[in-house]
Chain A
Amino acid sequence: MSTTLNTVTEEASKAPAILIENLGKSFNFGRIKVLDDVSLRVADGDIFALIGPNGAGKTTLMGCMLALLRPSRGRIRIFGKPPDHIDVRRVTGFLPERPSFENWMNPREFLTFHQMLAGRSSDQAAKKEIDDALAAVELENVARRQIAKFSRGMLQRLGLAQVLIGKPKLCFLDEPTSGMDPPGMEMVRNILKRFRKDGVTVVINSHHLDEIERVCTRFAFIRKGKIETEEAISTLNRKLLIAKWPEEEKPDIDLLTRVLTECGVTLADQNDGYAKILLTNRHDGPKVIERLVQSGIRLDEVFFDRRSLSELFRPAVQQQSTQTSAAIKEENEQ
């Protein structure tokens, strides 16, 4: 197995960890299109986040990457190989959003089961691996307790411990902090930091945008099955333009909104002293400033500010979620 691991990781140095080309996925014989022409490249060692509103296609995309769903069209390569290749599975860890466990097992039995499935031998090193995994998720004190007696947060921790089994080079985590208390979230953050340090590639699907911003290196925003934005977390800087005006010369807000709309940017917020302008591209800044000045708006000071993922995408996520809820409600009423 070590040969396989080496082969896969050697190839990883040449190819991106994940390469997705023109992926499409439909259900119900093409009637429900969930993913539409998705292309993505995740570099080896990236902590990559998939964000987007409910029903955007994040989980489906992850399912395709894990070869648990069959794409309707397009191509996926994991370390240069198809996602259902046995060598890929040997280096993959996965935490589903709603993991289900056997009631009768205890954590140690459960991890042993997954260790055997991962093809690891049951020697002292394997036993240590289980101890380490349990310690990493702070479940070592309940290692012999029946899973049936576990709380939701403890089950989530156990699911995470299972991901650590088999020393994965690529991890897929679907809502890893779901049902966890603040210490649990801190623990997930630490595990992700460890992954980052060890060069493990991680794909996370989460709604906790603040958490993602703290630990991830790149993100993709998905809406209605399409990737709208894909960039590094570090480029979140300089996408928010703060324009301040003199106190006594507050501009006409209608005019300001109209000019910004013409420039293709959004007025994110405004008060008596300033406006926050959300740029699509940071290079749009000078053009926007020029147009504002041309339209007679006097500006005292203009500077770029950092904007968090939450500020950038929460409105889009909430809007889509409201639409989805309304659609479900309408469907139920019919």
Chain B
Amino acid sequence: MSIAILMFTIRRYLYWRTLISISMLILGWALWVGALLSTDLVVTREWARSMLFGPFIPMCVALYVISPQFANTQQRKDGEYLSLIFSRPLPRWSYVLSKWLSGVIFILAIVIIQAVLAFALAGVAGRQPRDVLDCYSVADAILNAISYTALIVLISSLPSPWGYWIFAWIWAACVLITMGVGTMSFITSLSVSELSNSVVTAAQFLFSFFSVGIDSYHVFKSSRLPLIDIVIYVSNVVCYLTLSMFAMNRREFFYAND
């Protein structure tokens, strides 16, 4: 683990442009959730788990803050950023792990902000805060963040065009399927509650292909420890990180540009 990468990456998150972008994202989310909570929507645990702490924000934030290709804090886009870093005595696995850990730490901070906001929004909407927030939802959010961050580290470890394309496809597929489900639900005249649940289920289904989450309620409340779920979750994270290290080790960072 590289302390330099960890420290300076976290320091980079506090750059005003990054903070403003993430604040806008959270504000948009809060408005959306607030609007939904003020309707007749029946808040189920599943809904809260997906909507309040779903993958959308961690995914965007992770992508935004982890990847040097996507982060907009660099002085020039065509410059040699990683080649300069890797000319130093920094093993590439160390870089990958440091980026992952810094992403996880930052997303945990976002999850805490989300939790506080969800708590406040529930109060404003005249609902019982415990209806929208419980410790299992927050635990799920943390576990999801660990998993999504590993996925984003993998995407950002790929050479630029591949990273961009994979992210673009995931993004496009999520938007299209979610919108498709929403439109279909609207056509079939579902209630707001059913419509919202359908969209969430579609997004959740799609994300499950890319990143495996874990239901902490199920883990803690079931009579037998769901070993298979835990093994799948852990192996998913380990697999993404291993692939990231492999991709980073194989990657070339220099090209004839004169």
Q: State yes or no: do A and B come from one complex.
A: yes
Q: How far is the CA of A207 from the CA of B258 in the complex (A)?
A: 10
B257-A104 in contact (CB<8A):
no
Take A103-B75, A116-B3 as given contacts and tell me if A162 and B84 are in contact as well, using a CB distance cutoff of 8 Å.
yes
> Given A57-B256, A103-B15, are A116 and B74 neighbors across the interface (CB < 8 Å)?
no
The reply to whether B254 and A69 form a contact with Cβ atoms under 8 Å apart is yes
Q: Are A102 and B75 in contact, with the CB atoms below 8 A?
A: yes
Q: Is B86 an interface residue (CB 8 A)?
A: yes
Whether the Cβ atoms of A103 and B84 lie closer than 8 Å is: no
A325 to chain B, nearest CB (A): 13
CB-CB contacts below 8 Å: A68-111 with B: 68-70, 86-87, 89-90, 92-94, 96-104, 109
Count of A residues near B, CB < 8 Å?
Answer: 47
Q: Count contacts on B: residues with CB < 8 A to the other chain.
A: 35
Interface majority SS on A: helix, strand, loop or mixed? mixed
B87:A104 contact, CB within 8 angstroms: no
Please report the C-alpha to C-alpha distance between residue A149 and residue B68 in the assembled complex, in whole angstroms.
20
Q: CB of B23 within 8 A of chain A?
A: no
Does residue B46 face the partner (Cβ distance < 8 Å to A)? no
In the assembled complex, the Cα of A162 lies from the Cα of B76 at a distance in Å of 17
Contacts A66-B87, A68-B83, A117-B4; A98 near B74 (Cβ below 8 A): no
Name the B residues within 8 Å of A55 (CB-CB): 256, 258
Q: Give chain A residues whose Cβ lies under 8 Å from the Cβ of B88.
A: 89, 114, 117-118, 166
- Tell me which residues across on chain A come within 8 A of B7, comparing CB atoms: 116
9 additional A-B pairs beyond A63-B252, A68-B252, A117-B88, beta carbons within 8 Å, are A34-B256, A59-B258, A60-B255, A96-B83, A98-B79, A98-B257, A113-B8, A116-B7, A117-B90
- List 15 A-B residue pairs with CB atoms under 8 Å apart, sorted by A's residue number: A59-B258, A60-B256, A63-B83, A68-B252, A93-B87, A97-B257, A99-B79, A100-B80, A101-B75, A104-B15, A109-B11, A117-B5, A117-B85, A150-B75, A159-B84
List the interface of chain A (C-beta within 8 A of B): 34, 54-55, 57-60, 62-63, 66, 68-70, 86-87, 89-90, 92-94, 96-104, 109, 113-114, 116-119, 147-148, 150, 155, 159, 162, 166, 172, 175, 205, 207
